[in-house]
Structure 1
Amino acid sequence: MKHKHMNHGDMEHRQMDHSRTVTPVVRHSGRRPGQMKHGAGHGGHDHGAMIADFLRRFWICLILSVPVVAFSMMFQELVGYQLDFPFREPLVVVLASFIYIYGGWPFLTGMVGELRTRQPGMMTLVAVAITAAYAYSVVVSFGWLRGMDFFWELATLIDIMLLGHYLEMKSVAGASRSLELIVQMLPADAHKVEGDKITDVMVDTLDMGDVVLIRPGERVPTDGEVVEGDSSVNESMLTGESIPVQKGPRDSVIAGAVNGEGALRVRVTHKGEDSYLNKVVRMVEEAQNAKSQTQTLADRAAGWLTLISLSVGLLTLLAWLIAGKEVSFAVERMVTVMVTACPHALGVAIPLVVAISTAISAQKGLLIRNRTAFEEARKITAMVFDKTGTLTEGEFGVNRIKVLVPDMDEATFLSMVAALEQPSQHPIAQGIVREAKKRDLNLPGISDFQSITGKGVSAMVAGQRVLVVSPGFLKEAGIEQPHDAFGSGAETVVFVLIDDQIAGYVALADKIREDSKEAVQRLQESGIKVYMATGDNQKVADAVAKELVLDGVYAEVLPDQKVNVVKDLQQQGQFVAMTGDGVNDAPALAQANVGIAVGSGTDVAAETADIILVNSRPTDITNLVEFGKATYRKMIQNLFWATGYNIVAIPLAAGVLYPNFVLSPAIGAVLMSASTVIVALNAQLLKREMK
């Protein structure tokens, strides 16, 4: 299981691992529920403060770099102008020293952290490069060695590093904003009952045993047990099925479910760490710890580059000294290797692509938990969908209306039914009212409204007694149902009586999402077979499968059987993605190669999934596959540019073509910067590919 291999190590910033920098900025109940902290020289600042710190260091160092570059004799010689004055060199040394200490501090402390864990990496090589450039430049400035200082390379190098790290962290942090949409599934406040007094309190202040009032239409604020009241509760986001569940005393309710037409008093049974919000925060923290396979490859490459660069630098120094060259030349070659081999391009090759793709994905409604799964979305050959709440809307819509009263048109009939159903919070009633609003109908006035518990509603309309009731009411009253009322097993039918005579009926069903067909077609066009696994009966499943033209359907399956569906496809050699929204989908989501949870679904489904569809649109899944392919392609391109540059530049920096060609430190620094710019620009092109 991919989740078991996630790296849950410490969160120190010492390795500057940008795959770990997505920090939740979600607010709930007036506070921030979770903040990741980074050590290694940052004093435990939260992520927002660390981003601001990098930006502040960049601007200060950039301003100071202007005179350092302008006053540098090497830069003047390179560009072709002269600018000299008394105390120029001491001034440059002072400014460069400040830039080295202040701007280089994150990298220097990062090196210390890497060396403590005996895992030298990018931070070590960056620190060695800037330290070598600084030390050599100081020695030259004081006249202890002949040569030209590297202060301008040092300043620009640190500027580039700070800006690159800021942009990466800023981009990655943007993805966490999509969490706010998920957290909105829970209310911030609850109506706490204390005797005869009801007060509004923050949800996170509730204790075990407290009693809360849940009014009609409100979301359940916390897991609990009903102590008073009866109501239908819509748990489609929890169970994956759209039929409301009747709740009464001693029944349990789950946070996030939507209360129906009745008021409930609920005793709190779960809080704190078991709350939905904290589970979401933990989910993101796990994502911060997780590295993709490509990121791991880049980290290994950066580690090897560090060792190679350090070794080549020292060997270069010794080789030129043994060859009889002067110390200044040998040191210059060593420093050139260090500056040229700075692994910034390699360091940003993957994280920058991840940052951009994660941010764009979040804007498109994809919250990525497992980056490896995101990259591997390109391998998907079979997609298994849950039905309710995934391919369908998870709420009732009007399918058919039949009017049996002469001289009454459908609009008049529907407006009358909607007028009766308007006060109700029941999903069926809401479906009828939505249909009336969609048709822009004017609803007549009603009086003497009565609720017939579990059977329907009654009211006076234009002097007539009108009832909207269930089939059970007709059966009890001995009224024969119209023979064509039930056209499909997927429908729920309510009947309308006027003065005790049947006047017609309205058939409702869980509607297929508008973009489900487009999503299925696009997936099939890309060579992916599309299946559906649902707990609904075969007749309903076949009807949906036929309309969407699926490659296969599995009906009346239990949660453990959904897992078997995924396993069977995997045994056939398929790379399987599973999409679902309920607790019943969680085991299959975990079993699949790529688990995709619908964002409007449950916290359990979200925790077992690799990717969450915040907007619950099936077409977002096709975007996921396309984004995964584009992201992986861009990562490979960047690795090629970053490693290819070093393969060519390091030998030239060491002087293998001397005396025919010698790579100067200035040109080496320019090439290093150019490789970083190329990698960064190539990563930015991802925005076009993911539009």
Structure 2
Amino acid sequence: MENAQFKITGMVCASCAQTIEQAVRKLPGIDEANVNLASERMQIEFENQAVTPAQVIQAVVNAGYGAELAGELTKESDQHDRQAKQIELGKQKRSMISALVVAVVLMYVAMASDLHLPMINWRNTLSMASVELLLSLPIIWLGRSYLIAGAKALANLHPNMDSLVLVGTATAWLYSVVNTVIMAVSGAEQPLYYEASGTILALIMLGKYIEALSKQKTTNSLTSLLTLIPATAEVVGDSGDVTTVDVNDIHVGDHVLVKSGQSIPVDGKVLTGQTTVDESMLTGESMPVTKMTGDPVVGGSINKNGQVTYEATHVGSDTALAHIVKLVSDAQGSKAPIARLADRISGVFVPVIMTIALLGAIAWLISGQSLAFSLTIFVSVLVIACPCALGLATPTAIMVGTGKGAQHGVLFKNGTALEQLTQVNTVVLDKTGTITEGQPRVTSIETNHQDTSTVLQLAVSLEYYSDHPLAAAIVEANDQQRLPVEGFKTRPGFGLTGTIDDKVIAAGNQKLMAEQNVDVSSLSATTDRLTVQAQTLIYVASDHELMGVIAVADPVKEDSRKAVLQLKERGLNVVMLTGDNRATAMAIAQQVGITDVISDVLPDQKAAAIQQIQTDNTRVAMVGDGINDAPALVQADVGVAIGNGTDVAVDSASVILMNSDLSSLVTAHRLSHATMTNIKENLFWAFFYNVLGIPVALGVLYLFGGPLLNPMIAAAAMGFSSVTVVLNALRLNRFKVSKNERMNKMNKVAVEGMMCQGCADTVTEKLGQVVSNVKVDLDAKSATFDGDANIDQLNQTLADTPYSVK
């Protein structure tokens, strides 16, 4: 299936969106078509080569609306669209103000005597009627776009809100014209509705203008993302000369210079220099991140201090920010399942309202009321009914909610994910990379009467060919030459085997040892102790004889325990799913407060484990790395990929947490609940407004001695209903991440002068006096920590040692 997005023009209400969707879905090869009234865009899914964009556009045109294929969403295209909307808003504003001014004059002429205001001494009532007629004409001209659109919709047998306005105002105006002619012929005074038809149209123009202003604010989050990319960048040539180029002219491999205070134009990897970078636009985390040689930088982030030269690795639509913008745009154009009820009602709303208005007017006429009275009922019902509020209830909230999520490092791929996350009652967490850092390290090597270096060399020679995280930790711990391997085999869920110096070497878990008939009992006491400490064990055997065991630990993330407790406080059951053995899994689970653990699960069994949990009518959110856990993410009701801020194109997940913190899942859950609550409020108001307003317009209050609804008040109420829905959606902009959900990002500095583990221990102790969670990497000659201390403060702390940081 292919996806495409179109810009739609001419829509005024939910009925318009329904008409367009129905027209497009009739085309061959169209699987789905969703029209977003708030963003005025349509997303379609279609079979490749089964239908062309031109055919889709023609179907929309035939339905009475305009369409064009939406190009790639960029800073330039967004600015162009916003400028075009500003121009259109300017025209709309001028027409609206002019119409209101004329309407006020028209109302004064028509109603001055009723309100006991000073009035013109008309020669006769025909003179006053003629002036009212003349004053109504400019209002009709200024509001002609609504009347023409309504007429077109009627002609296409798909009436919309403008059709209601057209029928209501035209009926009142034509009735007045006929009565004016009668007055001219007979001289008898007749009831007139010029002021009602003119004022209704002017008030609708006012409501539409305020609605357009409010809707524009729902796209602010997306626009703020697009404006992060600078217009130009400084590229360093082969000879060292620096040239300023347009950011769109940067190519992969170019060397880009970024000075203090500048925005980073495209994704890349630092070549020279050191700085701290504000990546809050990407991860939602305000703590600046230290960058030095070899570290990745992301386009759109802000270089806080220092100067770096980096190599561009991703440009244009391949950058992380471009992926984020596309995901947010797609999500804002999608529909949540909760919108289906409103869609069904909107599809028949206008014809039903027209029928109700006509039957109501006839009923009053039959009951003995005058034609003028019945006409008031007819016009009031047509004007007060508002399918706009129904159509805006869901998309406005989704647009604001998904945009707000992007600001806090949470990407919802569509409205369905946003809604389904609120229905989840169980959260299943993968262990590696989700609860833990995902960067295991070798903590000890225990041997069975062998040399430690020999055991490590055999393991490294095999693990070098594996892409498993544990393999990377073992390879990183080795400083010896690798041995040649023949017949290398990967055993998913078990380990690795191969032949070295004519001996069969096996490196893996206890299940692999059992398969290879290796007796591991000689080290059982040691392995039991390490397992209790949550160490993962890699057994190494040569020719079916145990050589030793390598213990690897993957540290738990700083925020994991806090996040698990917060999820439980929100009423969610938390389960850990891992391929580790039971003892190791329980040790990690105990550290973070999880009691429900599923262990010893092979990668291809995780989806089945999720399915088993779902059998008890349990709705599951699976949180994993988005790659190894892809089948489980797809099987879950909501798949949540936890990444590093750059891996945002995860196909198998419907929610992406960009900053790798599990606390972001709490943020996502809170935001989804806030958005769905907002949608329900909007739908309630939209339904309640019509349920209450239409009976009042029909004269129910009048039956019991109350007032009859004036059509002009009905017009004002209709415009107010749509504006209320949009303003309520904008309240989501107040959503904030609580302090408990924020996790300080680790700062990183280079450490000079370290030669041994004792040196590293000294640096750890000294730095720990001014910052927290210090972790010193002797091999990488670097240190990471939490806190706001700068380089000068850290070096002052190390002043009495031979070490320094930079």
Same-fold status (TM-score > 0.5): yes
Give the number of equivalent residue pairs: 536
Query: Whole-Å Cα distance in 2 between the matches of residues 598 and 80 of structure 1?
Result: 70
Question: Aligned to 1:597, what secondary structure does the other structure show?
Answer: strand
What is the letter of the counterpart of residue 136 of structure 1? A
What is the letter of the counterpart of residue 21 of structure 1? S
Q: Does 1:663 align with 2:709?
A: yes
Query: Whole-Å Cα distance in 1 between the matches of residues 153 and 423 of structure 2?
Result: 37
- Counterpart in the other structure of 1:174: 221
Q: Is the 8 A contact 2:207 2:716 kept in 1?
A: no
What is the letter of the counterpart of residue 133 of structure 1? T
Q: Is the 8 A contact 1:367 1:611 kept in 2?
A: yes
- Counterpart in the other structure of 1:52: 86
Q: Deviations over 1:582-619 (max 9, x none)?
A: 32233322222112233536757633322222444322
Query: Whole-Å Cα distance in 2 between the matches of residues 67 and 646 of structure 1?
Result: 29
Q: Does 1:381 align with 2:381?
A: no
Deviation, structure 1 residue 551: 3.2
- Within 5 A, what are the aligned runs for 1:29-68? 40-41=65-66, 48=82, 51-52=85-86, 55-68=89-102
Q: Deviations over 1:371-406 (max 9, x none)?
A: 122123222111122344433445689999xxxxxx
- Counterpart in the other structure of 1:147: 192
Question: Aligned to 1:562, what secondary structure does the other structure show?
Answer: helix
Do the aligned partners of residues 312 and 630 (structure 1) sit closer, same or farther apart at CA in structure 2, a change above 3 Å counting?
Answer: same
Which residue of 295, 300, 312 maps to 2:339?
Answer: 295
- Within 5 A, what are the aligned runs for 1:586-665? 586-598=630-642, 600=644, 603=647, 606-656=650-700, 658=702, 660-661=705-706, 662-665=708-711
- Counterpart in the other structure of 1:410: none
Q: Is the 8 A contact 1:389 1:581 kept in 2?
A: yes
Root-mean-square deviation over aligned CA pairs: 5.5
What is the letter of the counterpart of residue 341 of structure 2? L
Do the aligned partners of residues 397 and 390 (structure 1) sit closer, same or farther apart at CA in structure 2, a change above 3 Å counting?
Answer: same
Q: Is the 8 A contact 1:19 1:289 kept in 2?
A: no
Instruction: Name structure 2 gaps, 5 residues minimum.
Output: 18-34, 43-55, 71-76, 122-127, 182-189, 257-263, 269-281, 283-297, 300-310, 445-472, 484-525, 538-550, 738-806
- Counterpart in the other structure of 2:104: 70
Which residue of 593, 596, 599 maps to 1:552?
Answer: 596
Query: Whole-Å Cα distance in 1 between the matches of residues 637 and 676 of structure 2?
Result: 17
Query: Whole-Å Cα distance in 1 between the matches of residues 233 and 349 of structure 2?
Result: 50
Question: Aligned to 1:12, what secondary structure does the other structure show?
Answer: strand
Question: Aligned to 1:626, what secondary structure does the other structure show?
Answer: helix
Query: Whole-Å Cα distance in 2 between the matches of residues 565 and 658 of structure 1?
Result: 64
Which residue of 124, 128, 136 maps to 2:172?
Answer: 136
Deviation, structure 1 residue 308: 1.9
Query: Whole-Å Cα distance in 2 between the matches of residues 576 and 322 of structure 1?
Result: 59
Query: Whole-Å Cα distance in 2 between the matches of residues 204 and 546 of structure 1?
Result: 51
Q: Is the 8 A contact 1:531 1:553 kept in 2?
A: yes
Query: Whole-Å Cα distance in 2 between the matches of residues 606 and 115 of structure 1?
Result: 46
Q: Is the 8 A contact 1:54 1:162 kept in 2?
A: no
Q: Is the 8 A contact 1:360 1:690 kept in 2?
A: no
Query: Whole-Å Cα distance in 2 between the matches of residues 78 and 547 of structure 1?
Result: 79
- Within 5 A, what are the aligned runs for 1:228-377? 283-284=327-328, 286-322=330-366, 325-377=369-421
What is the letter of the counterpart of residue 98 of structure 2? L
Q: Is the 8 A contact 1:171 1:356 kept in 2?
A: yes
Query: Whole-Å Cα distance in 2 between the matches of residues 77 and 575 of structure 1?
Result: 67
Q: Deviations over 1:216-239 (max 9, x none)?
A: xx99979xxxxxxxxxxxxxx9xx
- Within 5 A, what are the aligned runs for 1:480-491? none
Query: Whole-Å Cα distance in 2 between the matches of residues 347 and 357 of structure 1?
Result: 17
Deviation, structure 1 residue 621: 1.6
Deviation, structure 1 residue 656: 4.4
What is the letter of the counterpart of residue 93 of structure 1? S
Q: Is the 8 A contact 1:369 1:610 kept in 2?
A: yes
What is the letter of the counterpart of residue 207 of structure 2? I
Deviation, structure 1 residue 576: 0.5
Which residue of 100, 115, 134 maps to 2:143?
Answer: 100
Question: Aligned to 2:191, what secondary structure does the other structure show?
Answer: coil
Do the aligned partners of residues 281 and 556 (structure 1) sit closer, same or farther apart at CA in structure 2, a change above 3 Å counting?
Answer: farther
Query: Whole-Å Cα distance in 2 between the matches of residues 455 and 628 of structure 1?
Result: 41
Do the aligned partners of residues 687 and 189 (structure 1) sit closer, same or farther apart at CA in structure 2, a change above 3 Å counting?
Answer: closer
Do the aligned partners of residues 631 and 221 (structure 1) sit closer, same or farther apart at CA in structure 2, a change above 3 Å counting?
Answer: closer
What is the letter of the counterpart of residue 421 of structure 2? A
Question: Aligned to 1:385, what secondary structure does the other structure show?
Answer: strand
Question: Aligned to 2:661, what secondary structure does the other structure show?
Answer: coil
Q: Is the 8 A contact 1:188 1:203 kept in 2?
A: yes
Do the aligned partners of residues 219 and 135 (structure 1) sit closer, same or farther apart at CA in structure 2, a change above 3 Å counting?
Answer: closer
- Counterpart in the other structure of 1:422: none
What is the letter of the counterpart of residue 157 of structure 1? I
What is the letter of the counterpart of residue 579 of structure 1? V
Do the aligned partners of residues 654 and 574 (structure 1) sit closer, same or farther apart at CA in structure 2, a change above 3 Å counting?
Answer: same
Deviation, structure 1 residue 682: 4.6
Query: Whole-Å Cα distance in 2 between the matches of residues 668 and 551 of structure 1?
Result: 59
Do the aligned partners of residues 58 and 78 (structure 1) sit closer, same or farther apart at CA in structure 2, a change above 3 Å counting?
Answer: farther
Do the aligned partners of residues 584 and 398 (structure 1) sit closer, same or farther apart at CA in structure 2, a change above 3 Å counting?
Answer: closer
What is the letter of the counterpart of residue 335 of structure 1? V
Higher relative contact order (CA 8 A, sep 6+): 1
Query: Whole-Å Cα distance in 1 between the matches of residues 318 and 326 of structure 2?
Result: 11
Deviation, structure 1 residue 188: 9.9
Do the aligned partners of residues 653 and 663 (structure 1) sit closer, same or farther apart at CA in structure 2, a change above 3 Å counting?
Answer: same
Q: Does 1:18 align with 2:36?
A: yes
Query: Whole-Å Cα distance in 1 between the matches of residues 104 and 163 of structure 2?
Result: 24
Deviation, structure 1 residue 524: 0.8
Q: Is the 8 A contact 2:176 2:192 kept in 1?
A: yes
Do the aligned partners of residues 531 and 176 (structure 1) sit closer, same or farther apart at CA in structure 2, a change above 3 Å counting?
Answer: farther
Q: Does 1:672 align with 2:684?
A: no
What is the letter of the counterpart of residue 647 of structure 1? V
What is the letter of the counterpart of residue 90 of structure 2? R
Do the aligned partners of residues 535 and 601 (structure 1) sit closer, same or farther apart at CA in structure 2, a change above 3 Å counting?
Answer: farther
Query: Whole-Å Cα distance in 2 between the matches of residues 155 and 18 of structure 1?
Result: 26
Do the aligned partners of residues 523 and 375 (structure 1) sit closer, same or farther apart at CA in structure 2, a change above 3 Å counting?
Answer: same
What is the letter of the counterpart of residue 96 of structure 1? I
Query: Whole-Å Cα distance in 2 between the matches of residues 114 and 365 of structure 1?
Result: 46
What is the letter of the counterpart of residue 558 of structure 2? E
TM-score, normalized by length of structure 1? 0.62
What is the letter of the counterpart of residue 516 of structure 1? S
Query: Whole-Å Cα distance in 2 between the matches of residues 609 and 637 of structure 1?
Result: 28
- Counterpart in the other structure of 1:575: 619
Q: Is the 8 A contact 1:214 1:220 kept in 2?
A: no
Which residue of 185, 199, 208 maps to 1:161?
Answer: 208
Percent identical: 30
Query: Whole-Å Cα distance in 2 between the matches of residues 294 and 204 of structure 1?
Result: 40
Q: Is the 8 A contact 1:538 1:555 kept in 2?
A: yes
